[in-house]
A and B are shown apart, each in its own frame.
Chain A
Amino acid sequence: MMSVCRRLNHIFVYSFLCLVALLQLSPLLATLFNSFRSTKDITKFPIGLPTQYNLENYIEAWRVGEYTRAFANSIIVSSVSTISVVLMAIIAGFFLARSNFKIKDYIITYFGVALSIPVFAFLVPVYFSFSELGLVDHLIGLVLLFIAINMPFNILLSRTYILGIPRELDESATMDGCSVYQIIWNIIFPISKPIITTIALIVFVTTWNEFTVANTFLQSPELKTASTKYVLFVGERGSDLSLVYTAGIVTMLPIVAVFIALQNYFIEGMTTGSIK
C-alpha cells in the first residue's frame, strides 16, 4: 500500500517537473521550430513543427543581418573585457587579500558599495563625456565601460578565493626570492583556475548579452554587437517572421551552446558570490 502511494507520488512529482520544464522551454522550442518554417506558414499559424529541413533561413538571416560583422564585434568586445577583468581581478584580489597597506580596508568597502550602483546612476554623464572624447560609437569606449562595470564584483570574488589559498605557499616563494608578480603569475594564477573560469564565464556572458550600455554607446549598425544588432534587425525586418525567429536562434546559439557544455560551471559561477 505504502509503496503504491509512494510510486503515485513519484509519478505526480515528475509529471509536474516535466510540465514546468516544457512550459519553460516552449518559447525556445517554438522559436527553433519556426526557424525551419517559411514566413507564409508562420503568418498562417504561429507555432508548428518544422516544414523545411534546410538551412535556407539561416543563410538568409546571417547575410541580411550582417552577422559576420556583428559576431566579430561581440567576440572582440567580450574577449577583451573578459581578459582585462580577469587580470585586474587576480591582481587586485591578490593585494586586497595578502598585503597590508593602510587603505586596503577602505578599498574593499569601496568595491562593496560600488556593487550597488545601478547603470543609470552614471550612464548619462559618462555618455556625454565619452562623446566629447570621441569614444562614443567606438568598440574601445564600450570595452572601457564594460571593464569598469564588471570590476567590483569580480575583484571581491577573486579576493575571497585567494584568501582561501594557504599563505605558506607564497611565503616560501618569497623566501626563495620570488618577486610579488612572480608569485602571482607562478603560484596564485595556476591555483586560481576555478575562480578564473568562473569570472571569465560571468564577464563573457554578461557582456555578450548586455543591451543597455552597448545599445547606447554603439550607434552605427556595423559596430553593433550581436544582441543589439538583433534588436535593430527586428526593427527593420520585423515582418519577415521566419528571419526574426532564425536570427534569434543565431544570436543566442553561442551562449546556449557554451551553457549546455559547461552547465554546472555556469550555474554555480553565475550564482555564487551573489549570496555572500
Chain B
Amino acid sequence: MARQVLSNRTRRQRLIAYASVLPIFLYHFILIVLPTLNTLTASFTNWNGIGKKQFTGISNYIELVGDPNFITAFGNNIKWMIVFLTLPIMLGILLGYILSGVKRGRLFFRAVYFLPYVISAAIAGKIFAAFYNPYFGINVALKAFQLDFIALDWLAPKNALFSVAFVDMWHWWGFLLVIFISALQQIDPLLYESARVEGASELQKIWYITLPSIRQTIVFIVLITMVWSVSTFEYVWVMTRGGPGSEILSTMLYKNAYFKYRAGYASSIAVVQMLVSFLIFAGFGALRKRMED
C-alpha cells in the first residue's frame, strides 16, 4: 500500500519534471536549433530570404570557393585568429602572474583591467573609430609631438583589420586576465618555494612551474579563441562594415543576407563557419584524448 502511494508520487513528480523541462527545451529548440538546421538546408538553395527556396545543389559552395572575396575574408579570419592567439593571451598570463605576486591593490588593478570588457562593442567601436579618424583623431596629437611616423591611416585598407583587432583586444584581454588569475591561484605555493631555495630565476619559475601548472586553462583559452575568431563580427561591422581590407566571413555573410538578398549564399558561409568550428572542437578532442593516454 505504502509502496503504491510512493510510486504514484514519483510518477506524478516525473510528470511535473517533463511538463517543466520540455517547454523550455522546445522553446530553445524552435528558436535556435531548428533555424540552424534551416541554415544547413538553405545553403543548398538560391533562397533570397522572402520567396521559395529552390534547390541548387552545391552551387553555392562552388561559387564560394571561386569567390576572391571569400578567400580574402577567410584569410582575414586566420590573421585575426593568429593575433588573438598571441597578444591577449600573453598579456593575460604576464599580468596575471605579476598580479598574483602582489599583495596590495590586486583587486583594484584587476577591476581596472577588466573594465573595458563590460563596455558594448557598439560604443567602444564607434569611439575608437573617432580616435582613428585621420583628421580629428589621435593623429593630430601624434603629429604635434613629432611622431608622424606612427600617425598611420588607421582604418585604411592595409591597416584596418589590425586597428579593429586592437580595439577588440583592449576589451578582451582583461577577461583572460581574470581567468588566468584564478588558475594561477590554484598553484601550490610550495612549488615556488622550493624553486626559490634552489635559486631558480624568475623566468625559470614561469617556464618550469607556472606555465605547466596552468596548461589546461591555456588549452581552454586557445580553444575558445580559435572558435570565436571564426565567427567574430561586432567590432569589424561597427568600425568598418567589413570595408576594404577588413572583410571577414561574418561581414560577408551579413551583407549577402541583408543587403544583396542572397540568403542561400549567406547560409553557405555560415555552414563553412560551423564546419571550421566543428573541426577545431574535434581537433582539440583528439588532442585531449592523446594527452590523456
Contact = CB atoms under 8 A, between A and B. Distances in A.
Nearest to B267: A124
Interface residues of A, number: 88
Interface string A70-111: 000000000000000000100110011001110010010011
B61 to A, nearest CB: 16
A120 B141 contact: no
A180 B119 contact: no
Nearest to A122: B35
A245 B124 CA distance: 11
A243 B273 CA distance: 38
Contact of A107 (B25, B39, B127, B183): B25
A259 B119 CA distance: 10
Contacts of A88: 24
B126 A271 contact: no
B253 A101 contact: no
A275 interface: yes
Interface stretch (B132-140, B155-163, B190-198, B205-213): B132-140
B234 A14 contact: no
A46 B42 contact: no
A180 B224 CA distance: 38
A24 B250 contact: no
Contact of B98 (A17, A95, A210): A17
Contact of B35 (A16, A104, A125, A245): A125
A5 interface: no
Contact of B28 (A127, A152, A216, A241): A152
A121 B269 CA distance: 9
A46 B137 CA distance: 6
Q: In the complex, which range does the number of interface residues on chain B fall in?
A: 35 or more
B223 to A, nearest CB: 10
Contacts of A212: 233-234, 237
A228 B122 contact: yes
Contacts of B234: 211-212
B257 interface: yes
A67 interface: no
A245 B130 contact: yes
A111 B36 CA distance: 15
Interface in A37-57: 42-47
Interface in B241-293: 250, 253, 257-258, 263, 266-267, 270, 273-274, 277, 281
B179 interface: yes
A27 B110 contact: no
Interface of A: 13-14, 16-17, 20-21, 24-25, 27-28, 30-31, 42-47, 88, 91-92, 95-96, 99-101, 104, 107, 110-111, 114, 116-129, 131, 144-145, 147-149, 151-152, 155, 180-181, 205, 208-212, 215-216, 227-228, 230-231, 234, 238, 241, 244-245, 248, 251-252, 255-256, 259-260, 263-264, 266-267, 270-271, 274-275
Interface of B: 13-14, 16-18, 20-21, 24-25, 27-28, 31-33, 35-36, 38-39, 42, 49-50, 95, 98-99, 101-102, 105, 107, 109-131, 136-138, 140-141, 144, 170, 174-175, 178-179, 182-183, 217, 220, 224, 227, 230-231, 233-234, 237-238, 250, 253, 257-258, 263, 266-267, 270, 273-274, 277, 281
7 contacts: A17-B102, A24-B170, A43-B136, A123-B35, A124-B257, A180-B17, A256-B119
